[in-house]
Amino acid sequence: MERTFLAVKPDGVQRGLVGNIIGRFESKGFQLVGLKLVQVSRELAEKHYGEHKERPFFPGLVNFITSAPVVAMVWEGKGVIASARKIIGVTNPLNAENGTIRGDFGVDVGRNIIHGSDAPDTAEREIALWFTPAELCNWQPSISTWIYE
């Protein structure tokens, strides 16, 4: 099964959207295998957003993600990366479809509620940045037979 990293950003945590967001992924049938509330360090933020280091918006990203707690999660399931990206919606909430997290809750690109890995290699890197192997649970929910053939 595929795994992906998701993080409810400080705006989503502050607005009380964590339960709603988790519910969307549970309702879809994906399995939560890692979850924690984190006050992000500057070091972790800079590693997470490392590919943007030379861009002018990099300091703002780091300042925002470290401004309040983040809920870091790892989800597992068939096609979870691509499906999560659809559930999340496009980066700019004003362009996101209704029914997506960003389309339903966001209005500003700088406060777009949630981060999700965009590819398998990114997911692997981000999961390793945010979680140790011991923090991930390998388990089989009894409902799996009602989700997968």
20 labelled binding-site residue: no
42 labelled binding-site residue: no
Report the candidate in 136, 113, 107 with the shortest Cα–Cα distance to residue 21: 113
What angle do the packed helices 18-28 and 80-88 form, to 10 degrees?
140
85 labelled binding-site residue: yes
- Using CA atoms, how far residue 109 sits from 58, 82, 89, 113, in Å, is 14, 21, 12, 9
Spatial distance between the Cα atoms of 46 and 93, rounded to a whole number of angstroms = 24
Mark whether 48 is an active-site residue: no
58 labelled binding-site residue: no
Catalytic residue, from 115, 117, 127, 131: name it. Answer: 115
91 labelled binding-site residue: yes
Question: Which residues have a catalytic role annotated?
Answer: 115
Q: Annotated binding site for ATP: which residue ranges?
A: 9, 57, 85, 91, 102, 112
